[in-house]
Amino acid sequence: MRKLISGYQDVVKAGVRLKNQRSSLFRAKGQDKKEKSLNDPIEKFVLEGLDEDIASYEKRKKHYEEEMGKISKKYLVIRNLDTVPGIGLVGAIKIAAIVVDPKRFQKKGQWLSYCGLIQHEKMSGGRSYGKKDSRYCRTLKSVFKSAALSVIGGNTTNNFKDYYEELLAKEGSAEHNARHAVSRRIAILTLGVFKSGKPFSLKRKSESIQK
């Protein structure tokens, strides 16, 4: 699974680069990136090559996602993680591949630190020297940050979006802090689902957060 995820991430990075190059051609002309063609012969030639590469990228990306779908059928843990709001199939496979055994995290603080979702206060001689990030897994941090954006975005009402709006309603609460809090909540629930061996449910949600 780690090799599959590594290959998938390389494909996605290459695809993003290609799309950015395509957009830059149109931005240089003051045109919308959604347009299909350019008038300059050289720019048109470059654009045609990029469009071919992007089409190839989309096809390759789809093949990876199909393979991930096959893997999810083999492993219950992936299907369970996929039930956590915002995680999705790709996120579930990333978590399963990186963590392997969730029991290595006895406390949620250890888990949040590994995911890069909390900072540690540097103390010396009883004096605080501020907070700093721990050595964390960037992939997991990205998974939970993306999950938070997914659940609070759109028009669909859910418990996570309600929680986000409650935090925003509090005086002095910034949007990025509220999003970060949602990321931490999703991460804690994900660890609970991983350890339980059962799919996500609202009942287990409250139990996981209280522990």
Over the stretch 100-157, which tens digit does the pLDDT of each residue have?
999 999 999 999 999 999 876 565 566 655 566 678 899 999 999 999 999 998 777 7
**DSSP state, 129?**
E
CA distance 150 to 161: 10
Query: What confidence score (pLDDT) does residue 110 get?
Result: 92
What is the average per-residue pLDDT within 70-89? 95
- Residue 175 in 3-state DSSP? helix
Query: Domain boundaries in the chain?
Result: 2-74, 88-210
At residue 193 the predicted structure's pLDDT band, cuts being 50, 70 and 90, is very high
Q: What is the dihedral of CA 44, 50, 51, 54, to 10 degrees?
A: -170
What is the average per-residue pLDDT within 194-206? 79
Query: What confidence score (pLDDT) does residue 131 get?
Result: 60
- Bridge-based pairing of strands 119-124 and 127-133 is antiparallel
